[in-house]
A and B are shown apart, each in its own frame.
Chain A
Amino acid sequence: DTGVSQNPRHKITKRGQNVTFRCDPISEHNRLYWYRQTLGQGPEFLTYFQNEAQLEKSRLLSDRFSAERPKGSFSTLEIQRTEQGDSAMYLCASSPRGQVLNTEAFFGQGTRLTVV
């Protein structure tokens, strides 16, 4: 399977713990996005990488959230000191080089986080 891969698929954690999610984009896709989705809502933008550079970060994103994309390949999203409000589906998407406005994003199946 050469699609976008996210791990783990599900994560249950206690409030106050740190969690880390991993995303493996489609090979050679240089753009990578993280989104958060809650029930009944569309994907909400968190952050964006072009290759290894983090170019955009949502103003709504708490400083408890951090993301990396070393070497421009896989990416990790870490949430420190989790809160119940962090419970959501975390989505990763990637898109290829080329004409940006003509290329769609390819999504993984997401990581569902539950904070108890």
Chain B
Amino acid sequence: GNSVTQMEGPVTLSEEAFLTINCTYTATGYPSLFWYVQYPGEGLQLLLKATKADDKGSNKGFEATYRKETTSFHLEKGSVQVSDSAVYFCALLSSGGSYIPTFGRGTSLIVHP
């Protein structure tokens, strides 16, 4: 079946530091990959997505590249801000999973001024 593995958190960084949150997946079929973000007190919202191998999704300075050879979709940002403090979820969607989004456990990011 489908599964998503994310690095354990929390990730604690100083403002302007470089961010990487690792995500690897197992899927049947050809999945689409997503990063969602959950700010305190709010619902999950889409951050970025990529629907085929070698695609790069980007939004708000965040990027992730769909790497089929390593089954990975790592999230990166060159310079984090305090306002980026949130929980980040990697997710996939595939025909092999009946088109039901499968989520990782989430990685908490804390950015200090």
> Which residues on A are within 8 Å of B, measured CB to CB?
4, 31, 33, 35, 40-45, 48, 55-56, 91, 93, 100-102, 104-110
Contacts and interface: CB of A to CB of B under 8 A. Distances in A.
Given A40-B106, A41-B106, A93-B101, A102 B43 contact: no
Nearest to B6: A42
Contact of B93 (A41, A44, A101, A109): A101
A41 B105 contact: yes
B14 to A, nearest CB: 24
Closest 3 CB pairs of A and B: A42-B103, A107-B43, A107-B44
Interface in B29-50: 30-32, 34, 36, 42-46, 49
B101 A33 contact: yes
A109 B45 CA distance: 10
Interface string B40-75: 001111100101000000000000000000000000
Interface of B: 4, 6, 30-32, 34, 36, 42-46, 49, 51, 89, 93-95, 98-106
A101 B104 contact: no
B98 A40 contact: no
A102 B89 contact: no
Given A40-B106, A42-B89, A42-B105, A104 B100 contact: no
B105 A45 contact: no
Contacts of B104: 42
Nearest to B89: A42
A100 B101 contact: no
Given A91-B44, A100-B93, A45 B51 contact: no
